């Protein structure tokens, strides 16, 4: 007779069961690695945008307010190209697993247990089904623009007339320049992203809300980020210092994985997001179900 033996649980499920009791806020923090399996290059990985550079500049020099002031057409062209890469991509298993967790918790009346904080501007979490309310896009969204002058924090979708495809290096012409203006006052618009020479704020990037959320978190799941930016670093170091259970999923070690390995309640999973998140988040949903029944 064929006996079906239960397969051994991966180490992270054992860790989760011992580290988290199913109650409280689950904060998921994502970076470019979560979209890598959708074919969007990361920034600092081997094929990363920052390593490749553009014709004459390194992208880290391009992603600044100062660069936009000097050469707005060039910067717009670079963002429109990156946006066309994002628009051609589809959400992957990892995005879908995160969206399903929010949907499961919401259906059970426990939406307040879920928060997603993403550095990604690609919009794939929203396209996978996460809600805008519970998705803090702390570096913006490449499908949107806002006035360059900064007196107005409103954001606007990029005009449909621009289309969705843009070749690398394709020049901006008068027609595009006329479209890339703020609908509110006709002033020149800029991509709705956070640049290297700018600071986080609440209105556009949910800075204080993110810091408040970490104070409430009882489980932090960090996925696919090299740990190179300020707010994510604050999130993870606070989790570490406060002894909040946190798990880091990454294909390679990072400052965050080192912290996870040093933490009493930390765990590092060296793997791809798409391989790991479905079973991990299934276990998170099951643990919170179990807690309420």
Question: What positions carry a catalytic annotation?
Answer: 139
Residue 217 burial (10 A CB sphere; 0-12, 13-18, 19+)? buried
Residue selected from 28, 38, 40, 42 as contacting ligand APR according to rule CB under 6 A: 42
**Which residues, 6 or more positions from 66, have their beta carbon under 8 angstroms from its beta carbon?**
197
Whichever of 113 and 120 has its CB closer to ligand APR, that residue is 120
Contacts (CB under 6 A) with ligand APR, residues 121-140: 139
Selected range binding ligand APR among 18-26, 210-218, 250-258, 285-293, rule: CB under 6 A: 250-258
Q: Does 249 bind ligand APR (CB under 6 A)?
A: yes
Six-digit token string for 28: 């998921």
Residue selected from 84, 113, 119, 130 as contacting ligand APR according to rule CB under 6 A: 119
Q: Does 31 bind ligand APR (CB under 6 A)?
A: yes
Rounded Cα gap, residues 93 and 240, in angstroms: 28
Residue nearest to ligand APR (CB): 33
Number of residues counted as binding ligand APR (CB under 6 A): 25
Residue selected from 84, 135, 254, 288 as contacting ligand APR according to rule CB under 6 A: 254
Return the SS3 of 100.
Answer: helix
| Contact call for residues 235 and 115 (beta carbons, < 8 A) | no
Selected range binding ligand APR among 39-47, 102-110, 157-165, 262-270, rule: CB under 6 A: 39-47
E strands, the chain, are: 25-30, 114-118, 135-137, 140-147, 156-157, 189-193, 217-223, 246-250, 266-270
Q: Does 118 bind ligand APR (CB under 6 A)?
A: no
- What mask of x and - would describe binding to ligand APR in positions 208 to 237, judged by CB under 6 A? ----------------xxx-xx--------
Six-digit token string for 266: 């930390």
Residues of 195-212 as b/e, b for ≥16 C-beta within 10 angstroms?
A: beeeebeeebbbbeebee
Whichever of 22 and 31 has its CB closer to ligand APR, that residue is 31
Q: DSSP for 130-188?
A: --STTEEETTEEEEEEEETT-S----EEPPGGG-S---TTPPP-HHHHHHSB-TTT-PB
Residue selected from 273, 281, 283, 284 as contacting ligand APR according to rule CB under 6 A: 273
Q: Does 89 bind ligand APR (CB under 6 A)?
A: no
Binding residues (CB under 6 A) for ligand APR: these are 31-33, 36-37, 42-45, 48, 50, 119, 139, 224-226, 228-229, 249-252, 254, 272-273
């Amino acid at each position: 007779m064929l006996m079906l033996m239960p397969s051994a649980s991966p180490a992270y499920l054992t860790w989760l069961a011992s580290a988290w009791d199913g109650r409280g806020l689950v904060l998921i923090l994502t970076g470019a690695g979560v979209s890598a399996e959708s074919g969007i290059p990361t920034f600092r990985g081997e094929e990363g945008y920052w390593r490749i550079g553009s014709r004459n500049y390194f992208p880290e020099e391009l992603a600044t307010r100062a660069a936009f002031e000097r050469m707005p057409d060039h910067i717009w062209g670079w963002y429109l190209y990156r946006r066309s890469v994002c628009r051609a991509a589809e959400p992957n298993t990892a995005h879908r697993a995160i969206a399903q967790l929010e949907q499961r918790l919401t259906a059970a009346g426990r939406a307040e247990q879920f928060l997603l904080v993403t550095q990604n501007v690609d919009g794939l979490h929203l396209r996978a089904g996460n809600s805008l309310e519970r998705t803090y896009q702390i570096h913006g969204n490449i499908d949107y623009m806002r006035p360059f002058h900064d007196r107005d924090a409103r954001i606007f979708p990029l005009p449909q007339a621009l289309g969705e495809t843009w070749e690398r290096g394709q020049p901006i012409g008068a027609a595009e320049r006329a479209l890339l203006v703020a609908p509110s006052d006709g002033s020149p618009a800029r991509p709705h992203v956070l640049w290297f020479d700018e600071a986080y704020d609440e209105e556009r990037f949910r800075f204080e809300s993110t810091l408040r959320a970490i104070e409430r978190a009882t489980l932090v799941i960090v996925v696919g980020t090299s740990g190179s930016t300020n707010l994510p670093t604050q999130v993870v170091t606070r989790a570490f210092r406060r002894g909040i259970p946190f798990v880091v999923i990454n294909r390679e070690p990072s400052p965050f994985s080192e912290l996870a390995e040093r933490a009493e309640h930390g765990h590092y999973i060296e793997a791809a997001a798409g391989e790991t998140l479905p079973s991990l988040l299934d276990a998170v949903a099951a643990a919170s179900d179990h807690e309420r029944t």
